[in-house]
């Protein structure tokens, strides 16, 4: 059984909402308020949080994987700023981050980058960039065992995050 955890963190705020399912079916999740759409396992419960100053987060939990979705509305941050925040949030040093894709002007992104990062216990897929509503950092964080079993699914998630 494949599990995905979608958690979102902004500064000191981290929300996790548990959900379970017997079979994994991917469905489209869409938040008009934050201008983002992505595929998530059916049954995943989402929670939203606004912590002020334009910071917003979405959170969910599904199995051993965690997805942190953080946005700064109204700000066009640089790649270096978002990458540094991602490294700080995950605790995985920059030399362990491997860029696997990048682009401009696609799927609502002004620019985007997709990374895979890992340490001895976890693998993270990071989708980051900017769009019309602001700057985004989405981290799908899971165990090495889960990542090995579901690499194709997690890459599909990473390549299908859309801004609008």
Q: Which of 81, 127, 132, 78 lies closest to 105 in space, CA to CA?
A: 132
What is d(CA 112, CA 121) in angstroms, rounded to the nearest whole number? Answer: 26
Query: What confidence tens digit (pLDDT) does each residue in 62-95 have?
Result: 889 988 899 999 999 999 999 999 999 999 999 9
Domain that holds residue 74: 8-163
CATH number of residue 113's parent domain: 3.40.1000.10
Give pLDDT, residue 77: 97
The tokens for 71 are: 């946005």
31-35, 42-46, 119-123: range with lowest mean pLDDT: 42-46
What is d(CA 37, CA 40) in angstroms, rounded to the nearest whole number? Answer: 10
With respect to residue 1, please indicate whether it lies within any of the assigned structural domains: no
Q: Within the chain, how many helices (H) and strands (E) appear?
A: 2, 13
* pLDDT exceeds cutoff 70 at 54: yes
- Cβ(68)–Cβ(138) below 8 Å: yes
Residues belonging to the chain: 164
With respect to residue 2, please indicate whether it lies within any of the assigned structural domains: no
* pLDDT exceeds cutoff 90 at 4: no
């Amino acid at each position: 059984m494949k599990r995905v955890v979608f958690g979102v963190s902004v500064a000191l705020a981290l929300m996790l909402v548990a959900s379970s399912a017997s079979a994994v079916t991917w469905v489209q999740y869409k938040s008009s308020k934050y201008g983002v759409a992505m595929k998530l396992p059916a049954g995943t419960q989402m929670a939203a949080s606004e912590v002020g100053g334009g910071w917003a987060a979405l959170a969910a939990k599904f199995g051993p994987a965690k997805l942190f979705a953080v946005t700064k509305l109204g700000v066009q941050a640089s790649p270096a700023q978002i990458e540094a925040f991602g490294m700080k949030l995950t605790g995985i040093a920059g030399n362990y981050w491997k860029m696997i894709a990048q682009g401009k002007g696609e799927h609502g992104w002004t620019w985007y980058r997709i990374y895979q990062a890992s340490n001895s216990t976890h693998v993270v897929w990071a989708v980051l960039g900017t769009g019309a509503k602001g700057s985004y950092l989405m981290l799908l964080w899971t165990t090495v065992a889960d990542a090995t079993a579901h690499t194709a699914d997690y890459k599909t998630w990473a390549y299908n995050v859309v801004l609008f």
